[in-house]
Amino acid sequence: MPEGDSIFRAARTLDQALAGRIVASFETVLPALDRIHQDRPITGRTVERVWSQGKHLLVGFSGNLVLRTHMRMNGSWHIYRPGEAWRRPRRDMRIVIGTGAFVAVAFNVPVAVFLEGPAVARDPTLRELGPDLLASDFQAEDAVTRLRERGTMTIGDALLDQRALAGIGNIFKSEICFVCRVDPFALVSTLDDETLAELVTTAQKLLRANVTATSGGITTYRGLRQATGRARAEDRMWVYGRRGKPCRRCGASIQSMKQGLGARTTYWCARCQGETRSFEF
């Protein structure tokens, strides 16, 4: 599943390509979207902006209409020039938004709904989201309070709960806990407020480090997500995907185990994460 940094970068790229442009063509294989298009055509509208909220990507059109999409595990948005060959087969196409300069294609997007006017503010999925770690008005105190309310959950599961704070996925979950020396299987109720605040601050720092602005033009992100600050691809993660390899700090073997109802794989160092204190990265 794309994490908050990936969705943020995708929204930024789409905004650079589409914002301010008139929709020349619109196509979808999703009946609910097509019904809206047939009744109130998307063509002729202007794309006003594209933005992200947690793991949701939203496209705002003139006429007070917003397209909300969620990538889940396999969805993605691509940008092409008109006439350029797609890098995915047409059978994977779900939505096409075409302008005179660029074509945005959503592939295998499982969640896509149009929201009109006040419905955006009332949308239960968006309303339930916790503070967005990549939002300019992110409220760390609110995020800490929401984590505290999940006292019976393990901290690993609580960090993935988008109603607590929005944007963390399975990769960052493991990396955040390692950076803060927190056992990902510890109950939230066993962690003090200082530790929760540090987890939130670290989460924001790691996600923001992965959305550095591109240097002009319409570009897609081709780099690798990183948590350590190291340049080599094989050195960019502290623990994620490193089961059986030596911990970069203490040399102990990195462990992994399925966690939570979603059975997502968690990676950790039992030696380093036996204490809840931070280290610099």
103-107: strand order across its sheet: 25-28, 93-98, 103-107, 76-80
pLDDT tens series, the chain, 281 aa:
578 888 999 999 999 999 999 999 999 999 999 999 999 999 999 999 999 999 999 999 999 999 999 988 889 999 999 999 999 999 999 999 999 999 999 999 999 999 987 777 788 999 999 999 999 899 999 999 999 999 999 999 999 999 999 999 999 999 999 999 999 999 999 999 999 999 999 999 999 988 876 544 444 444 567 788 786 777 789 999 999 999 999 999 999 999 988 889 999 999 999 854 444 44
Residue 245 among the catalytic residues: no
Which of the 8 DSSP states describes residue 27? E
Residue 80 lies in a domain: yes
Residue 138: phi and psi, rounded to 5, are -55, 130
The count of structural domains within the chain is 2
Q: Residues 3, 150, 173, 175: which is the catalytic one?
A: 3
Do residue 168 and residue 76 come from a single domain? no
Residue 81 among the catalytic residues: no
List alpha helices for the chain, DSSP H: 4-18, 31-39, 119-122, 124-127, 140-148, 155-160, 170-179, 193-209
Do residue 189 and residue 160 come from a single domain? yes
**Cβ(55)–Cβ(125) under 8 Å?**
no
Residue 135 lies in a domain: no
Residue 11 lies in a domain: yes
Do residue 41 and residue 78 come from a single domain? yes
Residues 6+ apart with CB under 8 A from 121: 127
Do residue 97 and residue 163 come from a single domain? no
SS3 state of residue 50 = strand
Residue 270 lies in a domain: yes
| CATH code for position 14 | 3.20.190.10
Burial of 131 (0-12, 13-18, 19+ CB in 10 A): buried
Residue 3 among the catalytic residues: yes
Q: Residues 9, 55, 94, 150: which is the catalytic one?
A: 55
Residue 258 among the catalytic residues: no
Q: What angle do CA 159, 124, 122 make, to 5 degrees?
A: 130
Residue 263 lies in a domain: yes
Do residue 108 and residue 177 come from a single domain? no
What is 191-259 written as a DSSP string?
S-HHHHHHHHHHHHHHHHHT-PPPSSSS----S---SS--SSGGGS-SSTT-TTSBPTTT-PBPEEEEE
Q: Residues 163, 205, 230, 264: which is the catalytic one?
A: 264
Do residue 114 and residue 213 come from a single domain? no
Residue span of the structural domain in which 74 resides: 4-127
Q: Residues 2, 9, 146, 242: which is the catalytic one?
A: 2
